[in-house]
Structure 1
Amino acid sequence: MMFPSSPAYIIVLLTMLASWLVQRRLKNKFEQYSQIGLQNGLSGKQIAELMLADNGITDVRVISTDGRLTDHYNPADKTVNLSESVYAERSAAAAAVAAHECGHAVQHAQAYSALKFRSAMVPALSAVSRFMPILLIAGVFLLNRTPWPLAAGVVLFSLTTLFSFITLPVEFDASKRALAWIDSRGIVTKQEHAMAKDALWWAAMTYVVAALGSLATLFYYATMLLGGRRNN
Protein backbone atom coordinates (compact mmCIF):
# COMPACT_ATOMS: atom_id res chain seq x y z
CA MET A 1 0.00 0.00 0.00
CA MET A 2 1.41 3.37 -1.04
CA PHE A 3 1.23 6.55 1.01
CA PRO A 4 1.39 10.15 -0.23
CA SER A 5 4.47 12.29 0.04
CA SER A 6 5.01 14.20 3.27
CA PRO A 7 3.99 17.62 1.81
CA ALA A 8 0.46 16.37 1.12
CA TYR A 9 0.18 14.93 4.62
CA ILE A 10 1.50 18.15 6.19
CA ILE A 11 -1.02 20.26 4.26
CA VAL A 12 -3.89 18.14 5.55
CA LEU A 13 -2.63 18.45 9.14
CA LEU A 14 -2.26 22.23 8.79
CA THR A 15 -5.82 22.65 7.50
CA MET A 16 -7.11 20.51 10.39
CA LEU A 17 -5.26 22.74 12.84
CA ALA A 18 -6.57 25.88 11.12
CA SER A 19 -10.11 24.53 11.29
CA TRP A 20 -9.80 23.91 15.02
CA LEU A 21 -8.38 27.38 15.65
CA VAL A 22 -11.09 29.13 13.61
CA GLN A 23 -13.88 27.15 15.29
CA ARG A 24 -12.48 28.04 18.69
CA ARG A 25 -12.16 31.71 17.74
CA LEU A 26 -15.72 31.75 16.40
CA LYS A 27 -17.08 30.23 19.61
CA ASN A 28 -15.22 32.78 21.71
CA LYS A 29 -16.45 35.67 19.58
CA PHE A 30 -20.07 34.61 19.83
CA GLU A 31 -19.80 34.08 23.57
CA GLN A 32 -18.25 37.54 23.93
CA TYR A 33 -20.82 39.36 21.80
CA SER A 34 -23.72 37.42 23.29
CA GLN A 35 -23.00 39.07 26.64
CA ILE A 36 -23.64 42.55 25.23
CA GLY A 37 -27.31 43.47 25.04
CA LEU A 38 -28.72 44.96 21.84
CA GLN A 39 -29.72 48.58 22.40
CA ASN A 40 -33.08 48.26 20.63
CA GLY A 41 -34.00 45.19 22.71
CA LEU A 42 -35.15 43.03 19.78
CA SER A 43 -34.70 39.25 19.95
CA GLY A 44 -33.24 37.15 17.16
CA LYS A 45 -36.73 35.88 16.33
CA GLN A 46 -38.13 39.41 16.07
CA ILE A 47 -35.22 40.57 13.91
CA ALA A 48 -35.63 37.61 11.57
CA GLU A 49 -39.36 38.18 11.17
CA LEU A 50 -38.77 41.89 10.54
CA MET A 51 -36.17 41.25 7.84
CA LEU A 52 -38.42 38.72 6.10
CA ALA A 53 -41.33 41.18 6.16
CA ASP A 54 -39.17 44.01 4.81
CA ASN A 55 -38.23 41.79 1.87
CA GLY A 56 -41.82 40.84 1.15
CA ILE A 57 -41.33 37.22 2.23
CA THR A 58 -44.50 35.87 3.82
CA ASP A 59 -44.15 32.11 3.32
CA VAL A 60 -41.08 31.51 5.54
CA ARG A 61 -41.41 30.59 9.22
CA VAL A 62 -38.90 31.42 11.95
CA ILE A 63 -38.51 28.52 14.36
CA SER A 64 -36.24 27.50 17.21
CA THR A 65 -33.86 24.55 16.91
CA ASP A 66 -31.76 22.68 19.47
CA GLY A 67 -28.05 23.25 19.93
CA ARG A 68 -25.64 26.16 19.67
CA LEU A 69 -24.42 27.60 16.36
CA THR A 70 -26.87 25.23 14.63
CA ASP A 71 -28.65 28.08 12.85
CA HIS A 72 -29.59 27.49 9.22
CA TYR A 73 -32.14 28.18 6.50
CA ASN A 74 -34.00 25.19 5.09
CA PRO A 75 -35.19 25.89 1.52
CA ALA A 76 -37.13 22.61 1.42
CA ASP A 77 -39.71 23.63 4.02
CA LYS A 78 -38.93 27.36 3.97
CA THR A 79 -37.92 27.75 7.59
CA VAL A 80 -35.32 29.95 9.25
CA ASN A 81 -34.01 27.73 12.03
CA LEU A 82 -32.42 29.68 14.88
CA SER A 83 -30.60 27.99 17.75
CA GLU A 84 -32.30 28.42 21.10
CA SER A 85 -29.95 31.16 22.29
CA VAL A 86 -30.16 33.19 19.07
CA TYR A 87 -33.94 32.78 18.88
CA ALA A 88 -34.52 34.42 22.27
CA GLU A 89 -31.31 36.40 22.71
CA ARG A 90 -31.12 40.18 22.34
CA SER A 91 -27.51 40.81 21.37
CA ALA A 92 -25.34 41.85 18.43
CA ALA A 93 -24.40 38.21 17.88
CA ALA A 94 -28.04 37.12 17.75
CA ALA A 95 -28.90 39.99 15.39
CA ALA A 96 -26.04 39.02 13.06
CA VAL A 97 -26.98 35.34 12.94
CA ALA A 98 -30.72 35.94 12.55
CA ALA A 99 -30.20 38.42 9.72
CA HIS A 100 -27.65 36.16 8.03
CA GLU A 101 -30.03 33.20 7.92
CA CYS A 102 -32.76 35.47 6.58
CA GLY A 103 -30.24 36.52 3.96
CA HIS A 104 -30.43 32.96 2.66
CA ALA A 105 -34.22 33.19 2.58
CA VAL A 106 -33.92 36.37 0.51
CA GLN A 107 -31.48 34.59 -1.82
CA HIS A 108 -34.01 31.80 -2.25
CA ALA A 109 -36.85 34.22 -2.94
CA GLN A 110 -34.77 36.09 -5.51
CA ALA A 111 -33.42 32.88 -7.15
CA TYR A 112 -29.80 33.75 -6.38
CA SER A 113 -27.80 31.72 -8.92
CA ALA A 114 -25.10 30.37 -6.58
CA LEU A 115 -27.72 29.15 -4.11
CA LYS A 116 -29.69 27.47 -6.92
CA PHE A 117 -26.56 25.71 -8.13
CA ARG A 118 -25.65 24.56 -4.62
CA SER A 119 -29.18 23.31 -3.95
CA ALA A 120 -29.16 21.41 -7.25
CA MET A 121 -26.03 19.56 -6.13
CA VAL A 122 -27.50 18.34 -2.84
CA PRO A 123 -29.30 15.20 -4.19
CA ALA A 124 -26.17 14.06 -6.03
CA LEU A 125 -23.99 14.64 -2.97
CA SER A 126 -26.42 12.68 -0.80
CA ALA A 127 -25.95 9.69 -3.10
CA VAL A 128 -22.19 10.22 -3.33
CA SER A 129 -21.78 10.27 0.47
CA ARG A 130 -22.97 6.66 0.67
CA PHE A 131 -20.25 5.24 -1.55
CA MET A 132 -17.34 7.67 -1.38
CA PRO A 133 -15.88 6.63 2.01
CA ILE A 134 -16.01 2.95 1.03
CA LEU A 135 -14.29 3.62 -2.28
CA LEU A 136 -11.57 5.73 -0.66
CA ILE A 137 -10.80 3.20 2.07
CA ALA A 138 -10.93 0.24 -0.29
CA GLY A 139 -8.93 2.16 -2.87
CA VAL A 140 -6.09 2.80 -0.43
CA PHE A 141 -5.79 -0.89 0.47
CA LEU A 142 -6.18 -2.11 -3.10
CA LEU A 143 -3.92 0.47 -4.70
CA ASN A 144 -1.07 -1.99 -5.30
CA ARG A 145 -3.45 -4.23 -7.23
CA THR A 146 -5.66 -1.73 -9.06
CA PRO A 147 -6.02 2.08 -9.03
CA TRP A 148 -9.70 2.14 -10.07
CA PRO A 149 -11.47 2.14 -6.66
CA LEU A 150 -9.33 5.01 -5.40
CA ALA A 151 -9.71 6.86 -8.71
CA ALA A 152 -13.49 6.58 -8.41
CA GLY A 153 -13.30 7.80 -4.81
CA VAL A 154 -11.20 10.80 -5.85
CA VAL A 155 -13.70 11.72 -8.57
CA LEU A 156 -16.59 11.57 -6.09
CA PHE A 157 -14.64 13.49 -3.45
CA SER A 158 -13.96 16.22 -6.01
CA LEU A 159 -17.72 16.84 -6.09
CA THR A 160 -17.80 17.49 -2.36
CA THR A 161 -14.84 19.84 -2.75
CA LEU A 162 -16.65 21.70 -5.52
CA PHE A 163 -19.70 21.98 -3.28
CA SER A 164 -17.65 23.46 -0.45
CA PHE A 165 -16.28 26.17 -2.76
CA ILE A 166 -19.70 26.96 -4.24
CA THR A 167 -20.87 27.48 -0.66
CA LEU A 168 -18.45 30.37 -0.16
CA PRO A 169 -20.17 33.02 -2.34
CA VAL A 170 -23.54 31.93 -0.91
CA GLU A 171 -22.38 32.52 2.66
CA PHE A 172 -20.54 35.77 1.95
CA ASP A 173 -23.51 37.16 0.05
CA ALA A 174 -25.92 36.28 2.88
CA SER A 175 -23.68 38.13 5.36
CA LYS A 176 -23.44 41.12 3.03
CA ARG A 177 -27.24 41.28 2.77
CA ALA A 178 -27.59 40.90 6.53
CA LEU A 179 -25.17 43.70 7.40
CA ALA A 180 -26.67 46.06 4.82
CA TRP A 181 -30.17 45.45 6.16
CA ILE A 182 -29.41 45.79 9.88
CA ASP A 183 -27.69 49.10 9.05
CA SER A 184 -30.42 50.52 6.83
CA ARG A 185 -33.16 49.41 9.26
CA GLY A 186 -31.35 50.89 12.25
CA ILE A 187 -31.24 47.54 14.04
CA VAL A 188 -27.73 48.15 15.37
CA THR A 189 -25.63 51.04 16.55
CA LYS A 190 -22.21 51.71 15.05
CA GLN A 191 -20.52 49.68 17.81
CA GLU A 192 -23.04 46.84 17.47
CA HIS A 193 -22.52 46.79 13.71
CA ALA A 194 -18.78 46.27 14.24
CA MET A 195 -19.49 43.32 16.54
CA ALA A 196 -22.03 41.82 14.14
CA LYS A 197 -19.62 42.18 11.23
CA ASP A 198 -16.79 40.57 13.20
CA ALA A 199 -18.98 37.64 14.27
CA LEU A 200 -20.13 37.00 10.70
CA TRP A 201 -16.57 37.25 9.40
CA TRP A 202 -15.40 34.49 11.73
CA ALA A 203 -18.43 32.41 10.81
CA ALA A 204 -17.51 32.83 7.14
CA MET A 205 -13.95 31.77 7.90
CA THR A 206 -15.22 28.36 9.03
CA TYR A 207 -16.52 27.80 5.49
CA VAL A 208 -13.26 29.04 3.96
CA VAL A 209 -11.20 26.66 6.10
CA ALA A 210 -13.63 23.81 5.36
CA ALA A 211 -13.25 24.40 1.62
CA LEU A 212 -9.46 24.52 1.88
CA GLY A 213 -9.52 21.40 4.05
CA SER A 214 -11.58 19.57 1.46
CA LEU A 215 -9.16 20.66 -1.27
CA ALA A 216 -6.19 19.52 0.83
CA THR A 217 -7.78 16.12 1.42
CA LEU A 218 -8.50 15.79 -2.29
CA PHE A 219 -4.87 16.60 -3.00
CA TYR A 220 -3.84 13.99 -0.42
CA TYR A 221 -5.77 11.19 -2.14
CA ALA A 222 -4.83 12.37 -5.63
CA THR A 223 -1.16 12.33 -4.64
CA MET A 224 -1.58 8.83 -3.28
CA LEU A 225 -3.28 7.73 -6.50
CA LEU A 226 -0.60 9.19 -8.74
CA GLY A 227 2.17 7.75 -6.59
CA GLY A 228 0.56 4.32 -6.73
CA ARG A 229 0.20 4.44 -10.51
CA ARG A 230 3.86 5.35 -10.96
CA ASN A 231 4.88 2.39 -8.84
CA ASN A 232 2.63 -0.15 -10.64
Structure 2
Amino acid sequence: MILFMLASMAVSWTLKSKFKKYSEIGLRSGLSGREVAEMMLADNNITDVRVISTEGMLTDHYDPTNKTVNLSEGVYASRSAAAAAVAAHECGHAVQHATAYSMLKFRSAMVPALSVTSRYMQWILLIGILMIQTTLIPLAVGVALFALTTLFSFITLPVEFDASRRALVWMDTRGIVTTQEHAMAKDSLKWAAMTYVVAALGSLASLLYYASLLLGGGRRD
Protein backbone atom coordinates (compact mmCIF):
# COMPACT_ATOMS: atom_id res chain seq x y z
CA MET A 1 0.00 0.00 0.00
CA ILE A 2 2.81 2.39 0.91
CA LEU A 3 4.49 1.55 -2.40
CA PHE A 4 1.43 2.64 -4.38
CA MET A 5 1.08 5.80 -2.31
CA LEU A 6 4.68 6.71 -3.11
CA ALA A 7 4.17 5.83 -6.78
CA SER A 8 1.06 8.02 -6.91
CA MET A 9 2.94 10.94 -5.38
CA ALA A 10 5.84 10.46 -7.81
CA VAL A 11 3.56 10.33 -10.85
CA SER A 12 1.59 13.36 -9.67
CA TRP A 13 4.80 15.34 -9.14
CA THR A 14 6.13 14.32 -12.56
CA LEU A 15 2.87 15.27 -14.27
CA LYS A 16 2.85 18.72 -12.70
CA SER A 17 6.54 19.17 -13.53
CA LYS A 18 6.03 18.14 -17.18
CA PHE A 19 2.95 20.32 -17.52
CA LYS A 20 4.77 23.34 -16.07
CA LYS A 21 7.75 22.77 -18.39
CA TYR A 22 5.68 22.36 -21.56
CA SER A 23 3.36 25.22 -20.60
CA GLU A 24 6.28 27.60 -20.86
CA ILE A 25 6.90 26.67 -24.51
CA GLY A 26 4.64 28.57 -26.89
CA LEU A 27 2.68 26.74 -29.57
CA ARG A 28 3.84 27.76 -33.03
CA SER A 29 0.24 27.93 -34.26
CA GLY A 30 -0.49 30.41 -31.46
CA LEU A 31 -3.80 28.75 -30.59
CA SER A 32 -5.12 28.83 -27.03
CA GLY A 33 -6.53 25.80 -25.25
CA ARG A 34 -10.04 27.18 -25.77
CA GLU A 35 -9.47 27.67 -29.49
CA VAL A 36 -8.03 24.16 -29.88
CA ALA A 37 -11.04 22.69 -28.09
CA GLU A 38 -13.53 24.64 -30.18
CA MET A 39 -11.77 23.63 -33.40
CA MET A 40 -11.75 19.93 -32.48
CA LEU A 41 -15.44 20.01 -31.58
CA ALA A 42 -16.28 21.79 -34.84
CA ASP A 43 -14.21 19.34 -36.90
CA ASN A 44 -16.19 16.47 -35.36
CA ASN A 45 -19.52 18.22 -36.05
CA ILE A 46 -20.25 18.62 -32.34
CA THR A 47 -22.30 21.81 -31.95
CA ASP A 48 -24.03 21.24 -28.59
CA VAL A 49 -20.93 21.23 -26.35
CA ARG A 50 -19.63 24.43 -24.75
CA VAL A 51 -16.01 25.13 -23.80
CA ILE A 52 -15.77 26.89 -20.44
CA SER A 53 -13.09 27.83 -17.92
CA THR A 54 -12.92 26.24 -14.48
CA GLU A 55 -10.84 27.08 -11.43
CA GLY A 56 -7.83 25.11 -10.26
CA MET A 57 -4.81 23.38 -11.77
CA LEU A 58 -5.26 20.25 -13.90
CA THR A 59 -8.98 20.22 -13.07
CA ASP A 60 -9.85 19.78 -16.74
CA HIS A 61 -12.73 17.44 -17.51
CA TYR A 62 -15.64 16.77 -19.84
CA ASP A 63 -19.06 16.80 -18.20
CA PRO A 64 -21.55 14.72 -20.19
CA THR A 65 -24.47 15.81 -18.00
CA ASN A 66 -24.41 19.40 -19.21
CA LYS A 67 -22.19 18.84 -22.25
CA THR A 68 -19.33 21.13 -21.32
CA VAL A 69 -15.58 20.85 -21.82
CA ASN A 70 -14.19 22.38 -18.65
CA LEU A 71 -10.65 23.70 -19.04
CA SER A 72 -8.56 24.81 -16.06
CA GLU A 73 -7.18 28.32 -15.87
CA GLY A 74 -3.74 27.11 -16.99
CA VAL A 75 -5.19 25.52 -20.12
CA TYR A 76 -8.11 27.69 -21.23
CA ALA A 77 -6.08 30.75 -22.24
CA SER A 78 -2.63 29.17 -22.50
CA ARG A 79 -1.01 28.87 -25.94
CA SER A 80 1.29 25.90 -25.34
CA ALA A 81 1.70 22.28 -26.39
CA ALA A 82 0.60 21.14 -22.92
CA ALA A 83 -2.59 23.22 -23.08
CA ALA A 84 -3.38 22.03 -26.60
CA ALA A 85 -2.91 18.40 -25.53
CA VAL A 86 -5.17 18.69 -22.50
CA ALA A 87 -7.85 20.62 -24.39
CA ALA A 88 -7.88 18.10 -27.24
CA HIS A 89 -7.93 15.19 -24.78
CA GLU A 90 -11.04 16.50 -23.04
CA CYS A 91 -12.67 17.03 -26.43
CA GLY A 92 -11.74 13.42 -27.13
CA HIS A 93 -14.21 12.50 -24.39
CA ALA A 94 -16.84 14.70 -26.03
CA VAL A 95 -16.26 12.84 -29.31
CA GLN A 96 -16.56 9.53 -27.45
CA HIS A 97 -19.88 10.70 -26.04
CA ALA A 98 -21.15 11.89 -29.42
CA THR A 99 -20.19 8.62 -31.12
CA ALA A 100 -21.48 6.40 -28.29
CA TYR A 101 -18.06 4.89 -27.57
CA SER A 102 -18.85 1.58 -25.85
CA MET A 103 -16.38 1.80 -22.96
CA LEU A 104 -17.53 5.32 -22.09
CA LYS A 105 -21.16 4.15 -22.10
CA PHE A 106 -20.23 1.26 -19.82
CA ARG A 107 -18.32 3.60 -17.48
CA SER A 108 -21.13 6.16 -17.42
CA ALA A 109 -23.67 3.45 -16.60
CA MET A 110 -21.65 2.59 -13.50
CA VAL A 111 -21.51 6.15 -12.14
CA PRO A 112 -24.87 6.15 -10.28
CA ALA A 113 -23.97 2.94 -8.44
CA LEU A 114 -20.48 4.23 -7.70
CA SER A 115 -21.80 7.45 -6.18
CA VAL A 116 -23.73 5.41 -3.61
CA THR A 117 -20.94 2.87 -3.13
CA SER A 118 -18.26 5.47 -2.41
CA ARG A 119 -20.46 7.00 0.28
CA TYR A 120 -20.80 3.86 2.41
CA MET A 121 -18.01 1.48 1.35
CA GLN A 122 -15.33 2.54 3.85
CA TRP A 123 -17.77 2.38 6.76
CA ILE A 124 -18.95 -1.07 5.75
CA LEU A 125 -15.37 -2.28 5.44
CA LEU A 126 -14.54 -0.87 8.88
CA ILE A 127 -17.57 -2.55 10.43
CA GLY A 128 -16.64 -5.77 8.62
CA ILE A 129 -13.11 -5.71 10.05
CA LEU A 130 -14.38 -5.01 13.57
CA MET A 131 -16.92 -7.84 13.33
CA ILE A 132 -14.72 -10.35 11.52
CA GLN A 133 -14.64 -12.71 14.51
CA THR A 134 -18.43 -12.66 14.74
CA THR A 135 -19.67 -12.61 11.16
CA LEU A 136 -18.15 -12.24 7.70
CA ILE A 137 -21.22 -10.72 6.06
CA PRO A 138 -20.34 -6.99 6.45
CA LEU A 139 -16.78 -7.58 5.23
CA ALA A 140 -18.04 -9.63 2.28
CA VAL A 141 -20.39 -6.79 1.32
CA GLY A 142 -17.55 -4.30 1.67
CA VAL A 143 -15.25 -6.39 -0.53
CA ALA A 144 -17.99 -6.68 -3.16
CA LEU A 145 -18.44 -2.90 -3.18
CA PHE A 146 -14.68 -2.37 -3.37
CA ALA A 147 -14.54 -4.78 -6.31
CA LEU A 148 -17.05 -2.53 -8.09
CA THR A 149 -14.89 0.55 -7.56
CA THR A 150 -11.81 -1.36 -8.74
CA LEU A 151 -13.63 -2.46 -11.89
CA PHE A 152 -14.56 1.18 -12.50
CA SER A 153 -10.90 2.18 -12.19
CA PHE A 154 -9.84 -0.33 -14.82
CA ILE A 155 -12.70 0.54 -17.18
CA THR A 156 -11.51 4.16 -16.96
CA LEU A 157 -8.14 3.23 -18.49
CA PRO A 158 -9.24 2.46 -22.07
CA VAL A 159 -11.52 5.51 -21.97
CA GLU A 160 -8.59 7.77 -21.09
CA PHE A 161 -6.16 6.12 -23.52
CA ASP A 162 -8.67 6.38 -26.36
CA ALA A 163 -9.33 10.08 -25.66
CA SER A 164 -5.57 10.76 -25.81
CA ARG A 165 -5.23 8.79 -29.04
CA ARG A 166 -8.06 10.78 -30.64
CA ALA A 167 -6.47 14.04 -29.46
CA LEU A 168 -3.02 13.28 -30.87
CA VAL A 169 -4.33 12.01 -34.21
CA TRP A 170 -6.55 15.07 -34.63
CA MET A 171 -3.79 17.53 -33.72
CA ASP A 172 -1.44 15.94 -36.25
CA THR A 173 -4.05 15.77 -38.98
CA ARG A 174 -5.14 19.38 -38.39
CA GLY A 175 -1.58 20.65 -38.20
CA ILE A 176 -2.05 22.05 -34.70
CA VAL A 177 1.37 20.89 -33.55
CA THR A 178 4.82 20.49 -35.05
CA THR A 179 6.80 17.26 -34.68
CA GLN A 180 8.52 18.61 -31.57
CA GLU A 181 5.25 19.90 -30.11
CA HIS A 182 3.63 16.54 -30.81
CA ALA A 183 6.30 14.87 -28.68
CA MET A 184 5.61 17.28 -25.81
CA ALA A 185 1.85 16.81 -26.12
CA LYS A 186 2.23 13.02 -26.16
CA ASP A 187 4.50 13.10 -23.10
CA SER A 188 2.02 15.29 -21.21
CA LEU A 189 -0.86 12.93 -21.95
CA LYS A 190 1.26 9.88 -21.09
CA TRP A 191 1.91 11.13 -17.58
CA ALA A 192 -1.71 12.16 -17.15
CA ALA A 193 -2.70 8.60 -18.07
CA MET A 194 -0.18 7.21 -15.59
CA THR A 195 -2.16 8.76 -12.74
CA TYR A 196 -5.11 6.56 -13.72
CA VAL A 197 -2.89 3.49 -14.08
CA VAL A 198 -1.42 3.91 -10.61
CA ALA A 199 -4.88 4.57 -9.15
CA ALA A 200 -6.25 1.38 -10.73
CA LEU A 201 -3.34 -0.74 -9.52
CA GLY A 202 -3.60 0.80 -6.06
CA SER A 203 -7.30 -0.02 -5.96
CA LEU A 204 -6.55 -3.60 -6.99
CA ALA A 205 -3.92 -3.94 -4.27
CA SER A 206 -6.39 -2.68 -1.65
CA LEU A 207 -9.05 -5.05 -2.94
CA LEU A 208 -6.69 -8.01 -2.63
CA TYR A 209 -5.81 -6.94 0.92
CA TYR A 210 -9.45 -6.83 2.04
CA ALA A 211 -10.16 -10.07 0.17
CA SER A 212 -7.29 -11.75 2.06
CA LEU A 213 -8.84 -10.60 5.34
CA LEU A 214 -12.15 -12.07 4.25
CA LEU A 215 -10.60 -15.40 3.27
CA GLY A 216 -8.50 -15.49 6.42
CA GLY A 217 -11.56 -14.80 8.55
CA GLY A 218 -13.32 -17.67 6.85
CA ARG A 219 -10.77 -20.15 8.17
CA ARG A 220 -11.68 -19.72 11.82
CA ASP A 221 -11.90 -22.87 13.99
Query: Shared fold by TM > 0.5?
Result: yes
Aligned length: 221
How far does residue 102 in structure 1 lie from its aligned partner after superposition?
0.2
Q: Unmatched 5+ residue regions in structure 1?
A: 1-11
Q: Aligned to 1:151, which of 140, 144, 152?
A: 140
How far does residue 155 in structure 1 lie from its aligned partner after superposition?
0.2
How far does residue 51 in structure 1 lie from its aligned partner after superposition?
0.3
Residue 75 of structure 2 corresponds to residue 92 of structure 1: no
Give the whole-Å Cα distance in 2 for the aligned partners of 1:181 and 1:214: 32
Give the whole-Å Cα distance in 1 for the aligned partners of 2:129 and 2:164: 40
- Match in the other structure for 1:83: 72
Q: Unmatched 5+ residue regions in structure 2?
A: none
Report the secondary structure of 1:73's partner residue.
Answer: strand
The amino acid across from 2:195 in the alignment is: T
The amino acid across from 2:183 in the alignment is: A
Report the secondary structure of 1:56's partner residue.
Answer: coil
Q: When the two structures are superposed, what TM-score results if normalisation uses the length of structure 2?
A: 0.98
User: What does the per-residue CA deviation read over 1:12-68, in whole Å, with 9 as the maximum and x for residues that have no partner?
Assistant: 221111111111111110011011011111100000000000000000000000100
User: What does the per-residue CA deviation read over 1:158-198, in whole Å, with 9 as the maximum and x for residues that have no partner?
Assistant: 00000000000000000000000000000001100000000
- Match in the other structure for 2:160: 171
- Match in the other structure for 1:127: 116
Give the whole-Å Cα distance in 2 for the aligned partners of 1:17 and 1:218: 18
- Match in the other structure for 1:205: 194
- Match in the other structure for 2:7: 18
- Match in the other structure for 2:97: 108
Give the whole-Å Cα distance in 1 for the aligned partners of 2:55 and 2:93: 20
> After TM superposition, which residue ranges in structure 1, 4 or more long, deviate above 4 angstroms?
none
Q: When the two structures are superposed, what TM-score results if normalisation uses the length of structure 1?
A: 0.94
Give the whole-Å Cα distance in 2 for the aligned partners of 1:72 and 1:116: 16
Report the secondary structure of 2:218's partner residue.
Answer: helix
Q: Please identify, of 219-228 and 170-179, the stretch whose mean Cα deviation from structure 2 is larger.
A: 219-228
How far does residue 129 in structure 1 lie from its aligned partner after superposition?
1.6
Q: CA RMSD in A?
A: 0.7
Report the secondary structure of 1:230's partner residue.
Answer: coil
- Match in the other structure for 1:216: 205
Q: Aligned to 2:174, which of 181, 185, 197?
A: 185
How far does residue 231 in structure 1 lie from its aligned partner after superposition?
2.7
User: What does the per-residue CA deviation read over 1:62-85, in whole Å, with 9 as the maximum and x for residues that have no partner?
Assistant: 000010000000000000000011
The amino acid across from 2:134 in the alignment is: R
Give the whole-Å Cα distance in 1 for the aligned partners of 2:74 and 2:19: 11
